Amino acid sequence: MRTETAHAKLNLALHVRARRPDGYHELESLFAFCADGDGLSAAPREDGAVTLAIEGPFADDLEAGADNLVLRAAHALQQASGTQRGADIRLDKRLPVASGIGGGSADAAAALRLLVRLWDLRPMEIDFPAVAASLGADVPACLGARTVFGTGIGDRLEPVELDLEGVPVLLVNPLVPCPTGRVFQGWDGIDRGPLDPMDWRRGRNDLAPSAIALVPEIDEILAVLRAQLPVLARMSGSGATCFALFAGDAERDAAARRIADDHPGWWVMATSLR
């Protein structure tokens, strides 16, 4: 049995620069990852079959069918490596689904990392960037689960030398659906300028106004987070998860307790950056 964490992804800043003819958007984003996230485990099978069982607090929001990104990742890796081995995979779904923190993409990336070890594959013999990109725009960033600057549709990645490891962070989600497609469709089309990844605190999330129009609770969450006096509070990705960075663990944990007590219907996770 092998285990792997699907680290929650944060867009510390997200600038939308243009809408492309193919329907995608030109983006600039600083990706960072949390120490915590979904959990995956797997046991080997010698018959080549891959199975998936889902448990955890958000298991009911996700289907274990052929379109699940974990299964797609497993099958893509089988094809790329030529292995005849299979796996029984279990996904502990701890992150809200479609919540702007890369849940599905992080799960797919974690499945790739997990199965490479389970199947004793040689990573240098596999085109991992191509396999990851075939699964979705955010999967390449989630594969390394390290701070990177993304451009294009988020698929062109550059390492960034920022000392973020261990920074306390609090994630909050209203548990209200925030459809990614509609959020991007609602972007106002105005290019507000580039993102300097070394000066990301002065950045922004250009999708926040569109997401708030769809899910007004996001605005309330941001106001509540800012009232906790964090270093920074912002929405991640296309929402609805928002995050706040704190100067210390004690401040983060106190804010987590207050918010959980005052808003029992919200999802709250206290963690740190990695």
| pLDDT tens digits for range 133-168 | 999 989 999 999 999 999 998 889 999 999 999 999
Q: What pLDDT is stored for residue 150 in this prediction?
A: 97
Q: Of the candidates 123, 87, 97, 105, which has an alpha carbon nearest to the alpha carbon of residue 2?
A: 87
Q: What pLDDT is stored for residue 224 in this prediction?
A: 98
Q: Output the CA angle 162-204-180, nearest 5 degrees.
A: 105
- The two three-digit tokens of residue 128, written as one number: 């991992």
Terminal C-alpha separation, the chain: 25
Q: What pLDDT is stored for residue 46 in this prediction?
A: 94
CB 252 within 8 A of CB 162: no
Fold of 168-272: Alpha-Beta Plaits (3.30.70)
Which of helix, strand or coil describes residue 230? coil
Q: Of the candidates 29, 36, 26, which has an alpha carbon nearest to the alpha carbon of residue 14?
A: 29
Q: What's the CATH architecture for 2-159? A: 2-Layer Sandwich (3.30)
| pLDDT tens digits for range 161-219 | 999 999 999 999 999 999 999 999 999 999 999 999 999 999 999 999 999 999 999 99
Q: What pLDDT is stored for residue 154 in this prediction?
A: 85
CB 234 within 8 A of CB 101: no
Of the candidates 36, 38, 107, 138, the residue annotated as catalytic is: 138
Q: What pLDDT is stored for residue 164 in this prediction?
A: 97
Which of helix, strand or coil describes residue 212? helix
| pLDDT tens digits for range 19-76 | 999 888 999 999 999 999 999 999 999 999 999 999 999 999 999 999 999 999 999 9
CB 121 within 8 A of CB 81: yes
Q: What pLDDT is stored for residue 155 in this prediction?
A: 83
- Give catalytic status of residue 188 as yes or no: no
CB 186 within 8 A of CB 213: yes
CA 250/CA 10 separation, integer angstroms = 21
What residue segments make up the domains of the chain, in order of their start? Answer: 2-159, 168-272
| pLDDT tens digits for range 74-86 | 999 999 999 999 9
This prediction has a pTM of 0.96
| pLDDT tens digits for range 205-261 | 999 999 999 999 999 999 999 999 999 999 999 999 999 999 999 999 999 999 999
Q: What pLDDT is stored for residue 214 in this prediction?
A: 97
Q: What pLDDT is stored for residue 123 in this prediction?
A: 87
- Segment 115-128 mean pLDDT: 94
Of the candidates 9, 92, 93, 155, the residue annotated as catalytic is: 9
Determine whether 152 is exposed, middle or buried from the number of CB atoms within 10 Å of its CB (0-12, 13-18, 19+).
middle
Q: What pLDDT is stored for residue 35 in this prediction?
A: 98
Q: Establish whether domains 2-159 and 168-272 are of one fold.
A: no
- Kindly tell me if the per-residue pLDDT of 14 is higher than 90: yes
CA 13/CA 87 separation, integer angstroms = 37
Kindly state the helix (H) or strand (E) to which residue 105 belongs, with its residue range. helix 103-118
Exposed e or buried b per residue across 189-222, where buried means at least 16 C-beta atoms within 10 angstroms of its C-beta? eeeeeebebeebeebbbbbbebbbebbebbbbbb
- Give catalytic status of residue 9 as yes or no: yes
| Residue keyed to tokens 């100067």 | 247
